[in-house]
Chains A and B, each alone.
Chain A
Amino acid sequence: DVKVTQSSRYLVKRTGEKVFLECVQDMDHENMFWYRQDPGLGLRLIYFSYDVKMKEKGDIPEGYSVSREKKERFSLILESASTNQTSMYLCASSAVGVQGTYEQYFGPGTRLTVT
């Protein structure tokens, strides 16, 4: 089974702090993703990476950056945390499967509160 793990289930940070969220997958997937989930807004894509050191912006990249130095690890960085970044953050990974489809597998999520 694919396993996607996230470094923390719950995190509380102060406004202005630099925050690192870590994600690790154990299935050698080439693609990794960071989403945030908010009530009434659903899941929105922040950034994704299709290879080591490669990244692309998603729908809401402002205020975030990412790092992928190794294939299995994808980090989301909040350069200067703000209260509007309080959210549930979900990491996912995928690889090409049958007939070119990409099935995504998700981690358990990190609930971040910025005070």
Chain B
Amino acid sequence: KQEVTQIPAALSVPEGENLVLNCSFTDSAIYNLQWFRQDPGKGLTSLLLIQSSQREQTSGRLNASLDKSSGRSTLYIAASQPGDSATYLCAVAPRRYALNFGKGTSLLVTP
């Protein structure tokens, strides 16, 4: 079974810092990898989807990379803001339909 691990589990940074969230997975045979954001008590918001043939995707201040051979992905957040405070979840698609999720990184950006 595909296992997804996210490190660190929690992170606190001052506003303005650039930061990196890490995701690793055990089986490189994936269709795609998706990063989500979740605010407390809310549903998930899709941030970026990287196809298995791609190396990275960018959206605004967010950049996600994928290295399938090593089973790793990173989410880079530039110039962090207090509004970025949330839990960030990494999920991989080992088959066409379902996702396997990591347990998330809880991010706090302090003013």
Contact = CB atoms under 8 A, between A and B. Distances in A.
A111 B99 CA distance: 21
B98 A42 contact: no
B93 A42 contact: no
* Chain A contact patch, size range: 20 to 34
Interface residues of B, number: 24
A102 B53 CA distance: 14
B89 A101 contact: no
B29 interface: no
A42 B104 CA distance: 8
Among A43, A45, A94, chain B packs the most CB atoms within 10 A around the CB of A43
Interface of B: 31-32, 34, 36, 41-46, 49, 51, 53, 89, 91, 93, 96-99, 101-104
Shortest Cβ-Cβ A-B pairs, 4 listed: A106-B44, A42-B103, A43-B101, A108-B43
Interface of A: 4, 31, 33, 40-43, 45, 48, 50, 56, 58, 90, 92, 94, 98-109, 111
